[in-house]
């Protein structure tokens, strides 16, 4: 290596131009520069041209940089979240939204157990069936090659659920399990309430813990200010109606709705595990 370096040091141009030794080329560049005669402006016109070109490039670059917002939302979402087919297909966008943080004013998601509140939560996609992650997206989406696959004759790929919709499913189960809602849903005995008490309890605590981890993972570093209430005798009160930069939830939901796997899949819908595929001895 020393000899190559030496040669470059002393300007073995034929060797460099032949493209031999990338490392040597890199190492040599600095040294060679010394020996290359410094370009001089042989005339004022050339100098001016070079300067103008430089300024032009700078201006075009600045303008481009200023106006090019490109897919900033996509760029940001890819930087801060796990890649997935959903992200790719939907195209994550952000927009300002105001949270409804009233303590006393109800909305449909907060109502006591009943058909209206159930329909509202249902409309968020909390019970959608799985979607398909195509094979070429699997690894990037965090799926291992030996995870459950769909049979090739039904299109192949991997069955998967959208995490955000699972979180909402979990929050919905917590809602159904509230002390003042529990009896209603227990008596109905649908969904998670078809399971025995032991499983139901574990399901609820699983949900609680998943939501905890999600909230910690994406900790909201915004702040809640305070407002004055009661003109006669003003008291400070926390204002929960704050502005947030939110992802396009409804686009994600719609995509997940439109891309659900069949309702009643044939019995051979899934490809059985192959030789060497990992099979856990218990629920992970």
Ligand X SMILES: *[C@@H]1O[C@H](CO)[C@@H](O)[C@H](O)[C@H]1NC(C)=O
Neighbours of 5 (CB within 10 A): 15
Please list the helix, strand and coil fractions of the chain in percent, rounded to the nearest 5, in that order. Answer: 50, 10, 40
Q: Which residue has the CB atom at the shortest distance from ligand X? A: 100
Compute CA distances 272 → 105, 148, 192, 278, whole Å.
51, 8, 27, 12
CB 245, CB 93: distance < 8 Å: no
Closest distance to ligand X from the beta carbon of 107 (Å) = 6
Convert 169-197 to b/e letters by CB count within 10 Å (16 or more is b): bbbbbebbbeeebeeebeeeeeebbeeee
Footprint of ligand X on 173-202 (CB under 6 A)? none
Q: 53: helix, coil or strand?
A: helix
Closest distance to ligand X from the beta carbon of 243 (Å) = 10
Q: Which is nearer to ligand X, 85 or 172 (CB)?
A: 172
Write each residue from 63 to 92 as x if it is in contact with ligand X (CB under 6 A), else as -, in one continuous string: ------------------------------
Q: Which is nearer to ligand X, 97 or 260 (CB)?
A: 97
Footprint of ligand X on 91-130 (CB under 6 A)? 97, 99-100, 107
240 binds ligand X (CB under 6 A): no
Q: Which is nearer to ligand X, 54 or 215 (CB)?
A: 215
CB 84, CB 133: distance < 8 Å: yes
Q: Going by C-beta distance under 8 Å and a sequence separation of 6 or more, which residues neighbour residue 133?
A: 84, 85, 141, 143, 157, 158, 159, 160
Task: Using CB under 6 A, count the residues that bind ligand X.
Answer: 4
Closest distance to ligand X from the beta carbon of 247 (Å) = 12
Q: Which is nearer to ligand X, 97 or 205 (CB)?
A: 97
Q: Which is nearer to ligand X, 120 or 148 (CB)?
A: 120
Closest distance to ligand X from the beta carbon of 73 (Å) = 18
CB 239, CB 224: distance < 8 Å: yes
Instruction: Read off the tokens for 4.
Output: 């190559």
Closest distance to ligand X from the beta carbon of 177 (Å) = 22
Q: Which is nearer to ligand X, 100 or 205 (CB)?
A: 100
Closest distance to ligand X from the beta carbon of 220 (Å) = 13
Q: 38: helix, coil or strand?
A: coil
User: Which residue ranges make up the site for ligand X (CB under 6 A)?
Assistant: 97, 99-100, 107
């Amino acid at each position: 290596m020393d000899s190559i370096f030496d040669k470059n040091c002393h300007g073995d141009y034929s060797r460099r131009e032949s493209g031999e030794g990338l490392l040597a080329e890199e190492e040599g560049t600095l040294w060679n520069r010394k020996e290359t005669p410094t370009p001089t402006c042989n005339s004022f016109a050339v100098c001016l041209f070079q300067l103008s070109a430089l300024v032009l490039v700078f201006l075009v670059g600045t303008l481009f940089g200023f106006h090019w917002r490109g897919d900033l939302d996509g760029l940001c979402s890819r930087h801060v979240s796990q890649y997935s087919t959903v992200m790719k297909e939907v195209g994550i966008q952000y927009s300002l939204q105001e949270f409804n943080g009233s303590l006393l004013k109800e909305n449909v998601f907060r109502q006591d157990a009943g058909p209206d509140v159930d329909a509202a939560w249902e409309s968020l996609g909390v019970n959608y069936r799985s979607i398909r992650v195509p094979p070429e997206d699997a690894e990037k989406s965090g799926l291992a090659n030996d995870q459950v696959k769909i049979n090739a004759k039904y299109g192949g790929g991997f069955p998967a659920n959208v995490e955000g919709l699972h979180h909402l499913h979990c929050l919905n189960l917590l809602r159904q399990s509230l002390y003042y809602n529990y009896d209603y849903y227990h008596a109905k005995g649908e969904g998670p309430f078809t399971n025995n008490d032991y499983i139901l309890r574990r399901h609820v605590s699983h949900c609680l813990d998943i939501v905890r981890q999600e909230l910690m993972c994406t900790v909201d570093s915004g702040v809640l200010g305070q407002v004055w209430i009661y003109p006669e005798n003003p008291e400070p009160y926390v204002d929960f109606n704050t502005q947030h930069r939110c992802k396009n939830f409804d686009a994600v939901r719609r995509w997940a709705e439109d891309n659900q796997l069949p309702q009643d899949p044939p019995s051979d819908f899934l490809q059985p595990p192959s030789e060497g595929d990992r099979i856990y001895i218990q629920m992970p």
